[in-house]
Chain A
Amino acid sequence: MLKDVLDENIYNIITTKFNYGYLNEIRLRVDKPIVVFVKGQAYFLGNNGLVTAEENAIIASKQMVEDVIFRASEFSIYSINEELKRGYIVLKGGERLGICGTLVCEKGDIKTLNNFTSINIRIPHEIKNCSLDAFSFLVDSEGMKNTLIISPPGAGKTTFIRDFVNQLSIRNLSYNVLIIDERGEIAGDNNELSTGKFADVLSFSDKHNGFMQGIRAMNPHIIVTDEIGGEEDIKAVKYAGNCGVKILATIHAGNLEELKAKDGWNDLKSTFERYVVLSKRNGPGTIEGVYNENFSRLAVWR
């Protein structure tokens, strides 16, 4: 939980001086002003809340940055070396704490990360019904369409898929949903974020193992996963598609053109039947359009 890791003063400011529900990110950089993103907009954090003047901002010290990581590790940095090597820790409330510092490498392998210099805390939000506008385009009487959610970082992809799974549950569409939660962001570190009554969660598994094991063990109708990217991810998605399992996945791209320019796109495009493009235009989670497999726009919101 954020309360357990943040400096008491900072925590009090972000929970009392403005609407915490709109907070997307907190960025602490050593000897630089603390920056927060609220409704997708950047502000400095001052003692009285959000400020735009740098001189009124609270400056993050090295001690402050190290303390946050020390607390996030539950006072045991040695126990989070794998997370440090990956560059992020997931907190109990599902917040993702990205870390920058000095990478220690040996013979090309990352050994650890130390000398921490920056932290980026991303706050997950449960925005009820944020997927509702697109829902009817993704699920029809024949079932769910293989869907890819497209957006730049921080535009609400994870929030969207979490809400979508909840919508299935609300409608009592009793599909067995398997969530492959590689970073613990969809369902939280301990499944504390709501994912409805028909979802099983495989946490902290890479996609390759998650898809293989999940399909064998849980017999899902739908697999939900976040941020597909590498070759292994694409193989896993294709494998699931070939097994008759429906897929709801997300990918980083600003728009369809950027998506099509991605490596591995040619392997992936035959799998998906629907594309949902999100942006931060009216705050994270803004649906820009829903497209079919031929990229014809089915719906647009302005």
Chain B
Amino acid sequence: MKYLLLGVIVAICGYIGYGLSKYYVSRVKLFNELINFAEKLDTDINFGKSKLLSIINNFKCNSKDLKKILEMYKACLVENKAFTEDIFKDVKILKDEEKHIMLNFFTELGKLDVFNQTKQIENSKIKFKEVLEFCSDEKKKYGTLYLKLGIILGLLIALILF
């Protein structure tokens, strides 16, 4: 029974560490997918002149957070609120500066002719790549660190209790 309890404590601490590291993983995923989305926009606008909503609907998104943002963005477009921070309502992993960059991107979407829209997407992609680089560094630094710290903390508590 005692061993089982200690095991549970280690698992809980490990899980907390995993939760903290997931934050960094999710951020990397979000910006990775955002770049993929921008690339899809670029292609679909240039070659198909596809409508914005159809591009979003056809985008297979692997980031839960970006999916939420895109869903909110679609809803806000219809309600004429797409240019407010409402689109980030359900996403908690973004910093203010990152929200600002994304909002600039979404605000201009669909409002320009093909040439200028493509340029705007290209410029945004450069910014997203910078943020992704920063997020990747963060993930390298803290992502695995929190997981390890969680497990170590769990083991430490287990050791003390033992």
User: Interface on A for B, CB 8 Å cutoff?
Assistant: 67, 70, 73-79, 81, 111-112, 114
Does B45 belong to the interface (CB within 8 Å)?
A: yes
Bound complex: CA of A76 vs CA of B56, how far in Å? Answer: 12
8 contacts between A and B (CB under 8 A): A74-B53, A76-B49, A76-B110, A77-B112, A77-B113, A78-B117, A79-B50, A79-B51
B80 contact set on A, CB distance < 8 A: 67
Instruction: Let me know if B111 and A79 touch, CB within 8 A.
Output: no
Instruction: Let me know if B110 and A114 touch, CB within 8 A.
Output: no
- Residue from B53, B77, B110 within 8 A of A78 (CB atoms): B110
Chain B residue, CB-CB nearest to A69: B111
B66 to chain A, nearest CB (A): 18
B111 contact set on A, CB distance < 8 A: 70, 77
7 A-B pairs with least C-beta separation? A75-B110, A79-B49, A78-B114, A76-B52, A75-B52, A76-B51, A78-B117
A81 contact set on B, CB distance < 8 A: 113-114
A78 contact set on B, CB distance < 8 A: 45, 49, 110, 112-114, 117
> In which size bucket is the chain B interface?
10 to 19
A75 contact set on B, CB distance < 8 A: 51-53, 77, 109-110
Instruction: Let me know if B113 and A73 touch, CB within 8 A.
Output: no
Instruction: Let me know if B51 and A74 touch, CB within 8 A.
Output: yes
Q: Is the interface of B mostly helix, strand, loop or mixed?
A: loop
Given contacts A67-B80, A75-B51, 4 further A-B contacts (CB under 8 A): A76-B110, A78-B45, A78-B110, A112-B113
Bound complex: CA of A138 vs CA of B49, how far in Å? Answer: 44
B117 contact set on A, CB distance < 8 A: 77-78
A73 contact set on B, CB distance < 8 A: 110
A114 contact set on B, CB distance < 8 A: 113
B45 contact set on A, CB distance < 8 A: 78-79
B52 contact set on A, CB distance < 8 A: 74-76
A79 contact set on B, CB distance < 8 A: 45, 49-51
Bound complex: CA of A74 vs CA of B110, how far in Å? Answer: 9
Bound complex: CA of A54 vs CA of B50, how far in Å? Answer: 42
Chain A residue, CB-CB nearest to B45: A78
Interface residues of B in 110-135 (CB under 8 A from A): 110-114, 117
Chain B residue, CB-CB nearest to A79: B49
A80 to chain B, nearest CB (A): 9
Chain B residue, CB-CB nearest to A84: B113
A77 contact set on B, CB distance < 8 A: 110-113, 117
B110 contact set on A, CB distance < 8 A: 70, 73, 75-78
B113 contact set on A, CB distance < 8 A: 77-78, 81, 111-112, 114
Bound complex: CA of A112 vs CA of B112, how far in Å? Answer: 10
B37 to chain A, nearest CB (A): 15
B114 contact set on A, CB distance < 8 A: 78, 81
A101 to chain B, nearest CB (A): 12
B50 contact set on A, CB distance < 8 A: 76, 79
B109 contact set on A, CB distance < 8 A: 75
Chain A residue, CB-CB nearest to B77: A75
A60 to chain B, nearest CB (A): 16
